[in-house]
Amino acid sequence: MNILFLDVDGVLNSKQYFLATPKLSQSQLNSSSDPDLLSMKTYTNKNNMWCLGYLLENVPDLKIVISSAWRNCYSLESFRELFKIYGLDGNRIIDKTSKRLSSIRANEIYMWLEDNKGIEKWIALDDHTIFELGDLDKANEILTDNWVGLTMHETFKIIKHFNPDFKEPVIAI
């Protein structure tokens, strides 16, 4: 099994996106049939989600574990519903990392991997450094620029991590 540890803030949204997006009011949340889903959709960027969709199309056996702080606010089912809104397969989300002994993301990932044997390859996608420079697992980390979130640049790197024979599409502009 191949795993993507997925952060949200700075990956599926960005500082730039937050500057351009009006904040939800309490009355909007109160009038929604699903305030969690409304909030999640409002604070994710369709362009970043499109890049994630491209990744999922090109790594068909990739499963997602939510490692974002959002995991403490939203259920797995809410994440799956969010994916459906963007036309993505919510069933690819299989779990969330847990906060047990540490709030250090690297430790949460290591604990999840220890509890779930049989992982072929994995990668952590985040906008903040997870692993130290000397760590062997630094190669399993892809960082986004939190001003723009996930772009095709990082998406291609992740695809190549799981499929080294992948060729980026040639687009002439």
What single string gives the DSSP state of each residue in 89-101? -GGGEEEE---SS
Cα separations in angstroms, 140 against 16, 20, 46, 137, 143: 26, 32, 25, 5, 10
What pLDDT score does 163 carry?
Answer: 96
Asked if the model's pLDDT at residue 171 lies above 90, the reply is no
Predicted confidence (pLDDT) at residue 77 exceeds the cutoff of 90 = yes
Instruction: Give the global pTM.
Output: 0.93
Residue 100 has pLDDT above 80, yes or no: no
Q: What structural domains and CATH numbers belong to the chain?
A: 2-162 (3.40.50)
